[in-house]
Amino acid sequence: MAPTLSGAGDAVDARERTQFEEFAASRWPGLVRLAFGLTGDRWLAEDLAQTALASAYAAWWRVRRADDPDAYVRRILINASKRRFRRGRVSERPSDPDALPDTAVADPAAEIGERSALLAALAGLPPRQRAIVLLRYWEDMTDAQVGVLLGCSASTVRSQATRALAKLRASGELTDTDPGGTAPPRQQEEVPGEPR
């Protein structure tokens, strides 16, 4: 559910507050999706998205005047995620698992069988490469757009994406498997009369 601003003070006037609330509500799903890709944790993803929107609200005059407000807020989210990695661990934990919503209702993507393998493989990437893969392939951004967000050149984005994809392929978690769960053997059949 998208956040609302209640009791947030008089940082912006009523018209700007309404503009921000519309902006936040429309961007919430995409920000949570990006944060989930960065963290692999739904609850932490929502916290990061909330943090990014709270920071955007505090500097709303600057965000709305930016060339690309969406990129500005994504950058806030990526920086918040980086700070989380630097701290080393998250101290918040749900206290009662029975109070959490049913995962079948809360996260319909859980039915996709390859999701956990993909998330595990993404978690093995360094934070910058993970961000590049998510922005290029989940958010469908160009190399130049990703470069602007991450503060690097488009060629750096391409080289880091190439390295990240090579790591994902080498991880072994992203292989085609048969329904039995084992990878099919890759053997060349012997054809009578043909040299090997």
In this model, does residue 87 exceed pLDDT 90? no
The predicted pLDDT at position 160 comes to: 94
- 36 contacts 130 by C-beta, under 8 angstroms: no
- Collapse the DSSP code of 152 into the 3-class scheme (helix H, G, I; strand E, B; otherwise coil) and give the result: coil
Short-list 110, 97, 122, 109, CA closest to 173: 122
Interatomic CA distance for residues 68 and 128, integer angstroms: 21
pLDDT tens-place string over residues 21-66: 999 999 999 999 998 988 888 888 999 999 999 999 988 888 888 8
* Spatial distance between the Cα atoms of 81 and 45, rounded to a whole number of angstroms: 9
| Tens digits of residue pLDDT in 143-162 | 999 999 899 999 999 999 99
- The residues near 110 (Cβ < 8 Å, ≥ 6 apart) are 103, 104
Q: CA 114, 117, 123, 128 torsion: positive or negative? A: negative
Q: How far is the C-alpha of 59 from the C-alpha of 73, rounded, in Å?
A: 10
Average pLDDT over residues 4-28: 74
Domains and CATH numbers, the chain: 12-88 (1.10.1740.10), 110-177 (1.10.10.10)
> Could you tell me the pLDDT band of residue 195, with boundaries at 50, 70 and 90?
very low
Q: Residues 76-101: what's their mean pLDDT?
A: 68
Q: Is 193 a residue whose pLDDT tops 50?
A: no
Residue 107 above 70 pLDDT?
no
Q: How many CB atoms lie under 10 A from the CB of residue 19? A: 14
Task: Examine the pLDDT at 7 and tell me if it is beyond 60.
Answer: no
Q: What share of the chain is helix, strand, coil (3-state, %, to 5)?
A: 65, 0, 35
Would you say the pTM of this structure is higher than 0.85?
no
Provide the pLDDT for residue 105.
55
Tokens 């955007």 correspond to 56
- State residue 187's pLDDT score: 35
